[in-house]
Amino acid sequence: MANSKTLGESLRRHGVTRRGFLKFCSATASLMALPPTMVPAIAAALERAKRPSVIWLSFQECTGCTESLTRSHAPTVESLIFDHVSLDYHHTLQVASGEAAEAAREAAMHENQGGYLLVVDGSIPLADPGYSTIAGISNVDMLRETAAGAAAIIAVGTCAAFGGLPKADPNPTGAVPVSEIIRDKPIVNVSGCPPIPVVITGVLAHFLTFGALPELDRYGRPMVFYGQSIHDRCYRRPFYDKGLFAETFDDEGARKGWCLYKMGCKGPMTYNACATAKWNNGTGWPVEAGHGCLGCSEPDFWDAGGFYNALSIPTSDVTGTVVTGAVAGAALGAAAALLNRGTQGEAREKHATVTVDDLEKGV
C-alpha cells in the first residue's frame, strides 16, 4: 500500500547519500527526457514525493507491454516499482493469487480513492463483453469501476491507446481504446507495440516526481517522448536527404546503412523515442538493425498499408486502377468517337455549296 513517507525520507532511511540521490535524480531526468538543468527541480520534487498507489489492468493484449516494462532498467524496475510506487494490483503478475488479488485491487481503490494511478494495457471489446473477462467481470465494467476513483489513467501500449491489433480491420471484437470509454479523467497514451520500457517508467517517474502528468500531444502522448518523428531523429536521415536508399534488404545500400524509406519505413509518420532511447538497454533499435519502422506507436498502424511498401504508395491497387481506367476510357472514347463521326456526317450532309451569286443575292 502507498505509505505516507516521502521519497527523500525513504531513501535516507536506506542509507542513500546525497550524492546517490543526485545520481538518482540525474538518471531520472535523463529517463524523463528532461534537460539536465532540471536536476535540481527534480531533486526538490523527489525529496517531497510520496509513493503513489498503482493499479494495473490488462485487457485484450499480448502481455508484450508488461514484458517491456519488466525489462526497463533505468532506474531498475524493481527499485521503481517496489521503492517508489506501490504496485497494488497487476493481474498478469498476480494471476496465481486469484481472489486475493481482486481483494487487493478493491482495497487499493478504496484506500486511495481519487488518488491512485490506473495503468491499462490492452483494448476493450464492446461487441460482446464475454470476449474478455477477468474474475468474471467484463473489461468494460472493470475499467469503468476502477477508473472512477483514479487520479489519472496511463494507457500503456497501442491497444490501450488506440485499439491496436484487436481493432485492426475487421475488428471482430469491437475493440476500442480506453479514451473511448473514459472521458472524464486525464489519460496519457503511452503508445507503441510495445512501448519503449524507459518511456513507460519515464511517465510513471514524471507522475511520481511532479504529481502531475507531462505535457501531451494531440494523441494524448507525452511530448517529451513523442514530440518528434522517428524520421527527424533518425541517424540515417542524412542518407534520405542525399537521396541514398537501400533498394533491397541485401544490397550495397543496405550494407552501408542507407535510408530504408523505399523498404517501407514508416519513420516519417511515426512519433516515438526509439531513435534516442533505443531498445534492449540501449543496444539498438529497428532501423539500426536494418529494418524499417513499422509505425507501431501510431493509430491504426496495422491497416496503414504494407509494412514493406513505401509510405507514399496508396493502400489500393494503383496499377489495376490505371489499367481498368484506361480500358474504360478507351471504350468510352470509342463510343464518343462514333457519336462524333455521326455528327460530322450529318454536318457534311447538310453542307450546301454556296456560290458568289448566292452571296450577292443575300446582300
Partner 1 sequence: MERLDTIPVVSASSPGSAVGVTGNVLPLLHEIRHALERLARDRDPTVIDLRAIPFAPGDEERLLSLLGRGEVSLVLSALGRSEIRESGYPGVWVVEHYNDAGERIALQIEVTDIPAIARSQVADIEESSTRLNDLLMNDNG
Partner 2 sequence: MSEPMDFLLLVRGTGFDVALTIFVIGVVLRLFEIFSLGRGVNLAEPRGREFGPGMRTILTRNVPDPHTFRRQPLTVVIGYLFHIGLLISLLLFVPHIELFKETFGFGWPGLATPIVDAAAVITIIALLAALWHRASNPVMRRITRAEDWLVWLATFLPMLTGYLAYHRMVDPYPLILGLHLLSVELLLVLFPFTKLMHTFTLFIARWYNGAMNGYRGVQS
- Residues interacting with partner 2, by CB under 8 A? 161-163, 177, 179-180, 189, 217-220, 229, 232, 240-243, 245, 261-262, 268-269, 271, 298-300, 303-305, 309-316, 318-319, 321-322, 324-326, 328-330, 332-334, 336-337, 340-341, 344
Cell numbers placing 230: 522517428
280 contacts partner 1 (rule: CB under 8 A): no
State how far the Cα of 66 lies from the Cα of 90, in Å rounded to an integer: 10
**Does position 36 bind partner 1 by CB under 8 A?**
yes
- Figure out which of the listed residues 172, 282, 325, 342 binds partner 1, where binding follows CB under 8 A: 282
What whole-number distance in Å separates Cα of residue 179 and Cα of residue 154? 10
Rounded to whole angstroms, how far apart are CA atoms 255 and 31? 32
Nearer to partner 1, 232 or 358 (CB): 232
Nearer to partner 1, 105 or 237 (CB): 237
Q: For partner 1, give the closer residue by CB, 179 or 209.
A: 209
- Residue 183: how many CB atoms within 10 A of its CB? 8
**25 among the known binding-site residues?**
no
- Counting contacts by CB under 8 A, is residue 46 touching partner 1? no
Q: Which residues make Cβ contacts (< 8 Å) with residue 75, sequence separation at least 6?
A: 24, 27, 28, 31, 201
- Segment lying near partner 1 (by CB under 8 A), choices 129-137, 227-235, 325-333, 338-346: 227-235
Residue at 87: amino acid letter: L
37 binds partner 1 (CB under 8 A): yes
> Residue written as cell 536506506?
14
Does residue 236 touch partner 1 according to CB under 8 A? yes
326 binds, among partner 1, partner 2, none (CB under 5 to 8 A by kind): partner 2
Give ∠ CA 167-171-175 in degrees, rounded to 5.
50
Could you tell me the CA-to-CA distances from 65 to 281, 309, 354 in Å, in that order? 16, 27, 89
Q: Judged by CB, which is closer to partner 1: 277, or 294?
A: 277
Tell me the residue type at 326: A
Contact status, residue 123 vs residue 166, Cβ threshold 8 Å: yes
Shortest reach from residue 284's CB to partner 1, in Å:
7
| Residue 259 is assigned to a ligand binding site | yes
